[in-house]
Amino acid sequence: MRLSRKNLLAMLGLVTIPLVLLSSALVLLTRRPETGAAVPCVLIGLSILELLLGSMALLRWQQEHLSRPFKKLQDAAGRIRDGNLDHELTSEEEDEFSTLFESFEEMRLRLKNSAEEQLRAEQDGKVMLSNISHDLKTPITAIKGYVEGIRDGVASTPEKQARYLSTIYSKAEEMEKLVDQLYFYSLVESGRIPYHFTRIPARAYFSDCRWELKEELDAQEMVTGYENRIPEDICMAADPEQLHRVISNVVSNAVKYRDRTREKNQIAFRFFLEGETIVAEIEDNGVGIAPEDLPHVFERFYRADAARSASTGGNGIGLSIVQKIMEDHGGRALLTSEKGKGSCMRLELPVYKENANEPDPDR
């Protein structure tokens, strides 16, 4: 235990002064017997008196010295009990209580951070429930309407029935995608994403992704452009399913936020090599993102335009999933955008190298 300077001086004074008086008395008795016993007795009496008074004073001072920090600790503990985690506990001196105060303050900060994280989680949960209820309500309402049309005989011809059933099926697919995305987000939050990394030829993989998504884009009347300049022998260490999820989420955003006032909605795929980095760029001519919203697009549940999101749907977790998967692949996702002109998502992945640091294949 560390002693403060005041404590040390008080203890030295309590011991030193009686020792000096007793030493003086002994010197007088041994070296100057002619002085008699009166003076030494007085000195001994004074030393005893000083020792008693000093001990009492030191005891009282120690009690006050101990009571002040304990009162501070009691007050701080009471504030924490009442839910006030902003009250800072500081030590005025470097003494035996300073370490205790530091430990208490560290505990307070941890409790505060934990409480803030819990509050954020609760708020995120409310936002997610609100988004889910909205996103599920739209296809459910459509499905109910078309089923009622079939049941009430509105779809009276085989062609009309087929069209109704096709719409019902597409709306059911929308719901399935939403549920899948929300389930995957729960895996992201718990750190249990089922990765299965393998070595993949980059050029062929991105070509396949583009063709798999082309049907969806054609159905949305999106004009697609394609350029793949990645050499045939370049490979990457990736999970094919999760990387496909990344590209699918980016494309879905481009479709969702296309500019419906344009005669032609476009999306361009560009794949190329920059040094030791594989780059995939997906660019659209959609509504774009305002400069003040751009830094926040990868935050979970963030939606740049609440009014627009309410009409188009979107739960605000798609790009946060994109960023997480790219980081787990040792890469990154970068978004540039201009309001009214469109957006460009740039995905970067390291080139696969033998014996190089790469994502754990057992994840």
Residue-level pLDDT at 275: 92
Are residue 66 and residue 138 in the same domain, yes or no? no
Question: What pLDDT, on a 0 to 100 scale, did the predictor assign at position 309?
Answer: 45
- Per the structure, the count of domains in the chain is 3
**Are 178 and 204 part of one and the same domain?**
no
- Asked if residue 223 and residue 330 are part of one domain, the reply reads yes
What is the reported pLDDT for 45? 63
Are residue 177 and residue 318 in the same domain, yes or no?
A: no
Name the domain boundary from 190, 222, 241. 190
Q: pLDDT tens-digit profile of 115-159?
A: 877 777 677 667 666 777 777 888 888 899 989 888 888 888 888
Same domain, 145 and 186: yes
Same domain assignment for residues 254 and 338: yes
pLDDT for the residue 183? 80
Q: Per-residue pLDDT tens for 159-186?
A: 888 888 988 988 898 888 788 877 877 7
Angstrom distance (rounded) from CA 277 to CA 72: 57
Say yes or no: 302 and 216 in one domain: yes
* CATH code where residue 173 lies: 1.10.287.130
10/47 same-domain check: yes
pTM of the complete model: 0.60
Which CATH number covers residue 256? 3.30.565.10
pLDDT of residue 191: 74
Is residue 101 included in any domain, yes or no?
no
What is the pLDDT at residue 192?
A: 79
CA–CA dist 234, 310 (Å, integer): 42
Pairing of strands 277-284, 222-228: unpaired
Can you list the residues of the chain whose pLDDT is less than 70?
1-67, 90-97, 121, 124-125, 127-129, 301-316, 355-363
Residues 225 and 329 in one domain: yes
Asked, for residue 102, whether it belongs to a domain, the answer is no
Helices 158-190 and 318-328 cross at an angle (nearest 10°) of: 50
Q: What is the pLDDT of residue 298?
A: 86
Same-domain check for residues 286 and 314: yes
**237 and 292 share a domain?**
yes
Q: Supply the range of the domain harboring residue 147.
A: 126-190
User: Are residues 238 and 340 both part of a single domain?
Assistant: yes
CA–CA distance from 358 to each of 87, 280, 306 (Å)?
Answer: 46, 19, 39
Residue 146 within a domain? yes
Q: State how far the Cα of 258 lies from the Cα of 282, in Å rounded to an integer.
A: 13
